[in-house]
Structure 1
Amino acid sequence: MKRKPSILAQLTIGFTAILLFVMSATATVTYVQTSRSSLNQTARLLLDSITHLSGKLDANLIEYDKMTQVLAFNEVVQKHLSARTNPGSYNEELIRVMNASNRTSGHESNIMILDRYGSSYLANSSMDFLWRSLEAVQKQPWYDEMEQYKGRMLWFSGLVWVGGAQPAVIGARSLNNIETLENIGTIVFAYPAITLQKTIGQMNLGKSGKVQVVDSFGRVVYSTVWDDVGTPAPSVLLEQVRKVPSDMITLNTEDGPAYISYAYSEYSGWTVLAYIDRSEVYEGVSRLQRTILWISIVGLSVGILFITFYSWTLVRPIRFLAKRIERIDEGHLLPVKRQLWNAEVSGLYDSFNRMLARLQQTIRDLTDKQVSERQAQFVALRAQFRPHFLYNTLNTIYWTLEGKRDAAAAAEMVQLLSELLRYSIQPGSEMTTVREDVAQLRRYITLQKYRYGERLDVELDIDEELLDCRCMKLLLQPIVENAMTHGLEGVKRDQWKIRIRIQRDGRDMVLTVDDNGIGMSEREMKEILSEDAPQRNKPLHTGIGLPNLQERIQYIYGRSYGITLSGNEWGGLRVTIRIPIDPDAGSGKEVP
């Protein structure tokens, strides 16, 4: 027979699995919530920083915008560019005004004015433009959009010459006559893109993070990674910017997945971007996750130790009692004296001790009173039957608990067993009512259902008029126990069926128990109830309780009553008990 795991092992494994599930679920929820909170906080801080940075850039650009606007409305500029004839390519007074405006920028820059006749005028600066003629300017991709701005400043990324081509911030606007609003030229202002470094400053975005400024044409004006300047920004990102002016999105970059916060400027059309690697965002969360993992490992280890100890304290008393019951056959009848902390197990021990005391008293009474051989034989049978009953029932609890991890269910099973023992060893008359004996049977069936679950199907069909009639104690339980042990447990079926009926037949009460077990042959049915059956001399804990029950029935009610065996429609065994409804109809004997 395959060895089954112990209750201790199952309780330990079960509680450990529950603890592991709870701790894993808690750790997972904590990690998810912390990650979400960290991401939200990072997004909020980045967005605030980027929005503030975009505002600073706008403030600088607006200052340059005002400077070129003042220059455009200057009397010298208006007079020179509004001339009806070509004024020529050089005007000292105009250059002087341009130089004065250029010095207000506070850093290296340059201004170029182109009139409508194609002449260009440059302020004195070490910076020069790559295009100097009106024709060259008109071929630039930004020129048509500048004209649509109708005098407003258009800011974009470009190149200027400072000892070589260098990235620059360039602004251009149409120059109109202040009185007629007629277009009289173009003003272009430029300064090195590296100057934006002072405005943007330093942002802590981790090792791989960066800040970019992208113009309205989708080109990078400035980047903390200088190689990015002048390159086109990702088209996916630009599409998102057109939908939502400021937000945080996820984008797969060359360095891996990154979070990008951005803010769009309505004034300049520029977008400020902040890239931060996902690993940088979750760095703190990862540290927290490792801490939670170590705490979980320590907590789980301590929990397993506690669970093992707690499970052992629950199982140890039951194991000890089971061993003591096994030793009853060897004549060990000393009561158990142990300090117990569990009320249900304590009640079970008390019932066991009372059973032992009663058993010892029965033996003493038989010795002292020297009762008749018939009475002595019956008392011995009853004394044997009760330990056998307790042993079988305890085994039922023991193996039922193998599949359970519910302490409440265990408590209920122990309580049921205590009530079963109390009923079986209660002193007094051997007679009871059908109602009480059926209640005892229901307790036994409940215990068996805890063990076998839905596999066991028990049907009760009882004539309620017979519930208050008297009958001998433990009339039904041994029959059902015999059906379970010898009829059903040896059969591999998905459903075990037991049907119990109590009906009136004239002046008799007929009790039948059917099962769909292995059944018996005609020869076995005859041999098991015969007076010289070999099972009568075997110990009762083999489970053969029918001969003993037959003898009890016939001793109380007479030889005309008792047990008959037959087959049934399920292919199993039918046990029929016939007793008189009026106890006086039998021998009328009471058992001490």
Structure 2
Amino acid sequence: MKLIPRSLQSRISWIYMLISVFTIGIIGATLYVGISRAVMNESVQSANMAISKSGTLVEMYIDRLKVLSTMLAHNPQTIQTLSSPSQEGEQEELQFIQLALQSDPNIKSVIVIGKDGYVLSNEKKLNMRRSSNMMNEPWYVAAIHSTNPVLTSARMQKFSMDKNNWVISMSQEIKDANGHNLGVVLLDIEYEGIEDYLNDLELGSGGFAFIINSEGGIVYHQDPSYFTDPAKQEQLRTISMSKQGFDASANLLTYRTKLRNSDWTLVGVSSLDGLRQVRKQLLLSFVLVGIGLLLLIMLVSPFLAKSITRPIRRLEQAMQKVKSGTLEVSVSETGATEVQGLAQHFNTMVTEMRRLMQDIETKEKTLHRYELSVLHSQINPHFLYNTLDTIVWMAEFNESERVISTTKALAKFFQLSLSGGSEMTTVENEMNHVAQYLIIQKERYGEKLQVRLYFDPALASKVIPKIILQPLAENAIYHGIREKEGPGLLEITALPADDGSVRFIVKDDGVGFDPDTRANTEREEETLRTLPKLGGVGINNVDERLKLYYGQPYGITLHSRPGEGTTVTIIIP
């Protein structure tokens, strides 16, 4: 099995398809990598912006809460109420607390605690540890010194897994004019207040966000199990300290943003599902487009290859015609520059070949005419001498009528031999020419020579080479009838054959000869070839002329038997 096609058209088609596949693959891969990288950068930037935006919203919320706690701590009514032994202005302070609650629906409670355990709050029943000297309470001391929000249970109770009881607690110390501690303002904000800003983050199916404080404590995570599972907490701490950016192996983006005015850090981990989906869709699109282009190329490449090879095929067909002998061909000089050059050179070559063939043909015709002239010029001068001697002899015996008829026959004979300088004559003239010759020979041989001539009148105007019968008649007389005892008969006929050719038959009943006996030796064979020439122009002369005119298949056919005579047949197409 041959894997490589042999035809130029098939090879061009295959090469074009291979180059196209390679080109489509390179372009597709380059575009895929480039677009994927651009989409990845856009996805990373979008994820970073989303995390930063959520962090900014949390920062703004914390700032607002700090402002609110500061307003409560520095409110003159609050300072007056805690400074007065009788807690004057308590109702006004409670009204101020209600205004604070109304400013933010996520504020669960506002608690003002004096250093002596006095409490003002929107909640009537408080379950929290108090004493006459709050400085002895650890949580109170921690609240005085803390400036950061803290995740805890409501009213500083023991932390539980009841998510609905979680709060973000903000504290602010209350001081008098001299800077002495009067108490603490506590704001308990519902956990959902922070959670609402982070739950809407689009971080993908495998992504998540969490807030961690400076001590490694988890402040926020959507999954509550991270607040009790040490292993999971350690995992979050590792992520918070890992290198920021996109991890291609895990297909995860890690981004951290420090929240202003707190010790919190917001960490976002995005799985970039959009990037994965875009890459999948992009790859599918490239594959489909590539398959479509390949199918189109498979349909177009044969036509393209055919258009390229068509001039070459025309050139090949023209060469086949030249090979078969047809020189009347020409190739249109179209196609590629190289093919145009080939076609131009081919046309020049064929034109030059035609010119050379015409030159050869002209030279052959000239040589042909020269050879025929030489053959015509081989008329035996003895025939003229013998004829004139016969005329003189008849004149001496005062046989004027015979002299006149013989002279007229001789004149007519030479007139028909010349035939105006033409190499051709008609059947009628050729039969008349040999008749004049036989009239002259009849005067010489008398009753010994009997003649019978006939030709079909339909052949009268048929054009044939001249002087083809007289040499055969001369040969029959000199080598057949003259050697015979008694009279001899010479018959010359011209009849049409079934295939449309003309058949001339020159038959005598002379002595004849045996061709096989004469061909025993090379010398005898040479004698056989030269023997017919004893009678003038000769049989070989006529045979060579016919072959020059009509080709090798035509010429003379000779049959002879000793004592029976000789029959010579000429067939002319």
Q: TM-score, normalised by structure 2?
A: 0.49
The structure carrying a bigger helix percent of its residues is: 2
Larger radius of gyration: 2
Q: TM-score, normalised by structure 1?
A: 0.48
